[in-house]
Every structure is written in structure tokens, then in C-alpha cells.
Amino acid sequence: MRIPANSFKESLREHRTQIGLWSALANPYAAELVANTGFDWLLIDAEHAPNDPLTVLPQLQAIAPYPVHPVVRPVQGDVALIKRYLDIGVQTLLIPMIETVEEAERMVSATRYPPEGVRGVGSGLARASRWNQVDDYLHNCQSEICLLVQVESVTGLQNIAGIAAVDGVDGVFFGPADLSASMGYLGRPNEPEVRAAITGGIEIVSAAGKAAGVLATDQLVAKDYLASGASFAAVGVDTTLLVNAARALSAEFKTKADSVAPTPGSLY
């Protein structure tokens, strides 16, 4: 049995733009519902959504038959936690709050077996190797693992060139919500200064030969980032889509005084 190919990593390597959806409902039924809606990748969020390896696993299983690639964001860049996600079959990780070259290097090490890294060896217990039914998983898995690091602070931006240059980092993702807060614009991710900082970061990452990504739920802003060189972008969040659709429907049948308008400016 051959190791599953990472279509997302291959697409980024070949400079094919990948459009994604954020999934925060923490439910396999909801994940499967959006898995066949035309997106290239689906971000399963375990940082701000109530997910962990035990809830991510059934979501991976639910979307496996569909033409969408799962990307998982753990709550933090913890070596032991990364090991657990890799072992349940996650091939693409988005690690939040990376600020330094050393932190990025540590995340690369966490995704690789010794002697190149520190990932613990337990493939006989792991879905990733199909319980040692994948041919030579230990030596072949690294080629299909995609590591994305998330830069979302002023400190991270100051170190962006070094972070992007780290061998083993496949892409750098910009988080406008936390970045805007770090820059003094809490809740205002589309401020011109924030957008300019992200656009500049995208240019630096692209110049380093790495993929640049971003979350932008405003369609015009997302298109601007893509035009600036972003290789992958998440353009919607499932929770927001559901809430906004429900509010719009209820507003059709209630007075304006009773309806509640969506909160502007928020990514989530």
C-alpha cells in the first residue's frame, strides 16, 4: 500500500492557487457537509474551536472520500501534540503563533523522525501508516507532510524573512485577526496598515520560494491578497456562514427592530 499523496502540497509546489474554507463546528457531519462544496482545502480548527485529536479524527474520516484536503491547526506548536495529529493521519499542519526562526525550526523537527527530527516512532499504532500497512512509511512519510507556520504578530513580521527561509517550512500563513490586535487594531483586520503589512509579508515569503497564505472573509480583500501573490487563502468560516444565513432568513420574516445585523470587521 502506498502512502496517500498530499495533493495540497503538490499544488502549492506547482503554484496552483488553493482556495479554502475554515471549519470550526467541530463535528464530522458538518465537515462532510462542506467537503464537497468545491473548496480545495478545509481547515479543521483546534485552536479556537473545541477540537482535539479525538474529535479531529472522525472529521478526517468523514471528508476522506471527497476532493478536499484537510489542514489541521492545533492549539499550539507543541511537539507531543503534533506527534498525535501526524499519527492520526494529518498530512498538513498549520501551526499558530510562530514568531522566531527557532520556533519554526522546532516545528520542522517535530514533523520528522530521528535523526532529522524528534517525532516519536509509533507507526504500528498509527492510522497514518494504516497500522504499518503503508509501504516503508517511516522513510516515505516526510515527502507528503506539509508544514505551514502562522505569523500573526509584529514580532513574527519582523522575523518573516528568516522564518520563510527555514528548510522544511512549506508555507507561511498570515493571521489578520491576531496581527491586527498586535498592531493596535483589535477587531479591525482590514485596516490599511494591517493589509499593507500582510501584503509586504506575502511578497517576502514568495520571494523566498515558499507559499504564502491568509484568511480573508471579505471577498475584495481576499482577491487583493491573491493578486499580491498569496498561494492559498481561506475565504470563509463555516460558523459565520451559518449565522449570517440564519440571520438573513429570520430578518425576512421579522421587523427590522427584531433582527440583528452581523458584526462587521470580524474574521470569525
Q: What pLDDT digit, counting tens, does each position of 57-108 carry?
A: 999 999 999 999 999 999 999 999 999 999 999 999 999 999 999 999 999 9
Q: How far is the C-alpha of 112 from the C-alpha of 118, rounded, in Å?
A: 6
Amino acid identity, residue 170? Answer: D
DSSP state, residue 4: P
Q: To the nearest whole number, what is the mean pLDDT of the chain?
A: 95
Q: Are 74 and 56 in contact (CB under 8 A)?
A: no
Q: How many helices (H) and strands (E) does the chain have?
A: 12, 8
Q: Which cell goes with 73?
A: 491547526
Which H helix or E strand runs over 172? strand 171-174
Q: Please say if the pLDDT value at position 260 is more than 70.
A: no
Are the CB atoms for 56 and 88 separated by under 8 Å?
Answer: yes
The whole-angstrom separation of Cα 187 and Cα 174 is: 15
Residue 123 DSSP symbol: G
Output the pLDDT for position 258.
Answer: 59
Domain ranges of the chain: 7-251
159 to 104, 171, 186: CA distances (angstroms): 11, 15, 22
How does pLDDT run across 213-255, given as a tens digit for each residue? Answer: 999 999 999 999 999 999 999 999 999 999 999 999 999 998 7
Are 233 and 216 contacting, i.e. CB atoms less than 8 angstroms apart?
yes
What does the block give as the cell for 128? 497514518
Q: What is the pTM of this model?
A: 0.93
pLDDT of res. 261: 60
- Bridge partners of 149, per DSSP, are 95, 172
**Cβ contacts of 151 within 8 Å, gap of 6 or more:** 98, 99, 157, 160, 163, 172, 173, 174, 175, 179, 201
Please provide the distance, in angstroms rounded to a whole number, between the alpha carbons at the two ends of the chain: 40
Provide the 8-state DSSP code for 3: P
pLDDT value at 198 more than 80: yes
User: Measured between alpha carbons, how far is 191 from 178 in angstroms, rounded to an integer?
Assistant: 13
Q: Which of the residues are catalytic?
A: 48
Which residues, other chains included, contact 249 with Cβ-Cβ below 8 Å and sequence gap of 6+?
none
List pLDDT tens digits, range 8-56.
999 999 999 999 999 999 999 999 999 999 999 999 999 999 999 999 9
Out of 3.40.50.2300, 3.40.50.2000, 3.90.550.10, 3.20.20.60, which CATH number does the structure's domain 7-251 have? 3.20.20.60
The crossing angle, in degrees rounded to 10, of helices 53-63 and 79-87 is 30
And the C-alpha cell for 89? 493521519
